[in-house]
């Protein structure tokens, strides 16, 4: 089978504009351009579009998708198996969230008593799943499966009070980063307070702490653009500033 942009858009549910954009950035090129100037897609491109949409459902960026599918080692069958596994995990998490919402509604309406720890079960699972999807490979390679699994287990067993405190501290760190960055000095009092709070935040989920591990994470923030994007979203250049503040705090700079 062969498809024009409009026919492939109707088949897949993806807009023609999106298909043209995918062509423009080199993510999904048509098999050929016919004599009338129309893009023509074959079965190969249909299968590739399916892969792209699976990755998008898992919230993988277009840039990362392009890097994945352009590798010579890319295997469609293995990718489908991974999609299946990851989508099952996502469905399980959504089922847990739905269950939590149902229990919360019933609790509000006076039907059942709901334990405080149950109110955050689905949210913790979501946090772990998102972290695994974005950073799991790098973190596991750096610290090992045992360390990461222990950290995830600690997070899942966290009380409501600690979960709320960790979330609040994360927001406080972002606010403090803006103020500390304005000093232009990672050794300033504000910057060192920022580094101390970052350590405090890590201790909520880390099963054990070492200066070397903290420094390694700070370096990873700068080395990996996905990590950099998180703190640079708060303030441009903030990730490197945070790294420098942490290294000074740890006596490693």
Q: How far apart (Å, rounded) are the C-alpha atoms in residues 195 and 244?
A: 9
Using a pLDDT cut of 90, give the percent of the chain over it.
45
Alpha-helical (H) ranges within 73-159 are 76-108, 121-143, 145-156
At 119, is the pLDDT very low, low, confident or very high (cuts 50, 70, 90)? low
pLDDT at 135 over 60: yes
Q: What is the mean pLDDT of residues 117-130?
A: 62
Token pair 């979203």 is at which residue? Answer: 233
pLDDT (mean) for 169-179 = 94
Tell me the per-residue pLDDT of 201-246, one tens digit each, with 9 for 90 and over: 999 888 888 999 999 999 989 988 877 888 898 899 999 999 999 9
Task: Single out the residue of 36, 33, 4 nearest to residue 19, CA to CA.
Answer: 4
CATH 1.20.910.10 for the 159-253 domain, yes or no: no
* CATH dotted code for 5-69: 1.10.1660.10
pLDDT tens digits, 49-61: 999 998 888 878 8
Q: Each residue of 13-65: pLDDT tens digit? A: 999 999 999 999 999 999 999 999 999 999 999 999 999 998 888 878 898 89
Across the chain, mean pLDDT equals: 85
Give tens-digit pLDDT for 84-102: 888 887 787 777 777 766 6
Distance CA 221, CA 177 (A): 14
Count other Cβ atoms within 10 Å, centred on residue 216: 13
The domain spans of the chain are: 5-69, 75-158, 159-253
pLDDT of residue 91: 81
């Amino acid at each position: 089978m062969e498809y024009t942009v409009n026919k492939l858009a109707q088949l897949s549910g993806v807009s023609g504009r999106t298909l043209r954009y995918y062509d423009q950035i080199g993510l999904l090129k048509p098999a050929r351009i016919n004599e009338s100037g129309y893009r023509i897609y074959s079965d190969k491109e249909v299968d590739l579009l399916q892969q792209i949409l699976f990755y998008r459902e898992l919230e993988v960026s277009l840039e990362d998708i392009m890097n994945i599918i352009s590798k010579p080692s890319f295997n469609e069958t293995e990718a489908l198996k991974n999609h299946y596994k990851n989508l099952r995990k996502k469905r399980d998490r959504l089922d847990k969230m739905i269950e939590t919402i149902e229990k919360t509604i019933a609790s509000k309406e006076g039907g059942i008593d709901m334990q405080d720890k149950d109110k955050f079960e689905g949210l913790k699972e979501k946090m772990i799943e998102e972290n695994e999807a974005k950073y799991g490979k790098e973190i596991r390679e750096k610290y090992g499966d045992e360390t990461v699994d222990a950290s995830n287990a600690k997070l899942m067993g966290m009380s409501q009070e600690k979960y709320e405190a960790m979330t609040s501290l994360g927001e406080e760190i972002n606010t403090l980063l803006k103020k500390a960055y304005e000093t232009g000095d990672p050794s300033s009092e504000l910057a060192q307070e920022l580094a101390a709070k970052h350590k405090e935040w890590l201790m909520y989920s880390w099963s054990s702490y070492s200066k070397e591990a903290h420094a390694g994470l700070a370096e990873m923030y700068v080395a990996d653009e996905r990590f950099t994007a998180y703190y640079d979203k708060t303030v441009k250049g903030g990730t490197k500033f945070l790294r420098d503040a942490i290294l000074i705090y740890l006596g490693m700079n």
